[in-house]
Amino acid sequence: MAAKEPMRVLVTGAAGQIGYALVPMIARGIMLGADQPVILHMLDIEFAAEALKGVKMELVDAAFPLLKGVVATTDPVEACTGVNVAVMVGGFPRKEGMERKDVMTKNVSIYKSQASALEAHAAPNCKVLVVANPANTNALILKEFAPSIPEKNISCLTRLDHNRALGQISERLNVQVSDVKNAIIWGNHSSSQYPDVNHATVKTASGEKPVRELVQDDEWLNGEFIATVQQRGAAIIKARKLSSALSAASSACDHIRDWVLGTPEGTFVSMGVYSDGSYGVPAGLIYSFPVTCSGGDWTIVQGLPIDEFSRKKMDATAQELSEEKALAYSCLE
């Protein structure tokens, strides 16, 4: 069988913490598959140019069989040229004690300029994943300023939150995390997100069982569980004095892999995507929904029953996203 053509994968902010964790995963085939050669495009700011050179040296030293080339640059045009997948990790970082809204103005200008470079130079049908916070709104800005990139090709990362929810359930029930599926993150990648286990199941010796039935503690599921997932990023910063780079990089690989190669039958995952009004979420927001992926496209899972508790949580995070959107647009004026 003929070897596949290499795919070009852009990582912005590649010399940073998440970038440093992510590029070896991509080069090892974790993102696009063990038979898919890759050419890595790494972009960072001038300030990080020396560090970026060091990352390139290490990629050479690791002798990854799938890695067919490395572009390391501070020029957005060179970085974006011909890329099939773009993982936007670069942004103005939120530091301990900073509010998300403080970082909005700086990120709007970054994403506006990167949108133009991607639109003009990326490969047709390039898939874009925004990781840098505020991820949903950065993705929305990118969409606004790259009108020729189809809206279905722009997403943001809530798979980290999704995986955190699976992890908490597996710890609570003392089961393998691979046996837990179909948790949902609704809304914003912020502390207003709603981790929903009403449709989640666990594989047991006697078949798949609903998480609620197995946990048998609605107070925990509706309280501490939600808060733990919502606040997990802050808890890791507190413990490590650094952000959750390892898990963010791993989740970004999961997000792209499922998007490109498809989700397993009967499993849905969470992706921040452009709302079409499903589940009463205002159209025109980038909002995290349960999705399935097939043939390189995602589809929002339809028809899931939503109880009153969920409805309130889903509306609250939509409200925050609407406010963020208004704030981002005011930064443009």
Active site residue 189: yes
Same domain, yes or no: 174 and 148: no
Binding-site residue set for substrate: 94, 100, 133, 164
Number of Cβ within a 10 Å radius of residue 76: 19
The CATH number covering residue 13 comes to 3.40.50.720
Confidence of residue 137 (pLDDT cuts 50, 70, 90): very high
Does 100 share its domain with 163? no
Percent of the chain with pLDDT over 90: 91
DSSP 30: T
180-229 pLDDT, tens digit each? 999 999 999 999 999 999 999 999 999 999 999 999 999 999 999 999 99
Q: Domain count of the chain? A: 2
- 104's tokens: 């909005």
Listed in sequence order, the residues at least 6 apart from 259 whose beta carbon sits closer than 8 Å to its beta carbon are: 127, 129, 155, 271, 293, 296, 298
What is the domain-level CATH number for residue 184? 3.90.110.10
Binding positions: 13-19, 44, 94, 100, 107, 131-133, 164
Residue 158 has pLDDT above 90, yes or no: yes
Q: Render pLDDT for 45-72 as a digit per residue (tens, 0 to 9).
A: 999 999 999 999 999 999 999 999 999 9
Q: Are residues 206 and 237 in the same domain?
A: yes
Q: Where are the alpha helices (DSSP H) in the chain?
A: 17-27, 49-61, 76-80, 100-121, 135-144, 159-173, 211-215, 218-222, 224-240, 245-261, 308-332
Residue 2 maps to a domain? no
CA-nearest of 221, 225, 203 to 212 is: 221
CA angle 216, 272, 193 (to 5 degrees): 45
Angle between helices 159-173 and 245-261 (to 10 degrees): 110
Do both 285 and 197 map to the same domain?
yes
Residue 96 has pLDDT above 90, yes or no: no
Q: Are residues 149 and 162 in the same domain?
A: no
Which of 86-90, 99-103, 108-112 holds the top average pLDDT? 86-90
DSSP-derived letter for residue 93 is P
Based on the fold, state whether residues 221 and 325 are members of the same structural domain.
Answer: yes
- Residue ending a domain, among 123, 156, 189, is 156
- The single residue of 41, 162, 189, 255 carrying the catalytic annotation is 189
Domain of 62 in residue numbering reads as: 7-156
**CA 39/CA 115 separation, integer angstroms:** 21
99 has a pLDDT exceeding 70: no
Average pLDDT over residues 263-275: 98
For residues 180 and 173, what is the distance between their CA atoms, to the nearest angstrom? Answer: 10
Q: Which positions ≥6 away from 326 have C-beta within 8 Å?
A: none
In a domain, 1, yes or no: no
Q: Is the pLDDT at 100 greater than 90, yes or no?
A: no
Task: Answer yes or no: do 162 and 148 share one domain.
Answer: no
Same domain, 121 and 192: no
Could you give phi then psi for residue 193, rounded to 5 degrees? -55, 155
Q: Give mean pLDDT, residues 33-46.
A: 97
Q: Which residue positions form the known binding site for NAD(+)? A: 13-19, 44, 107, 131-133
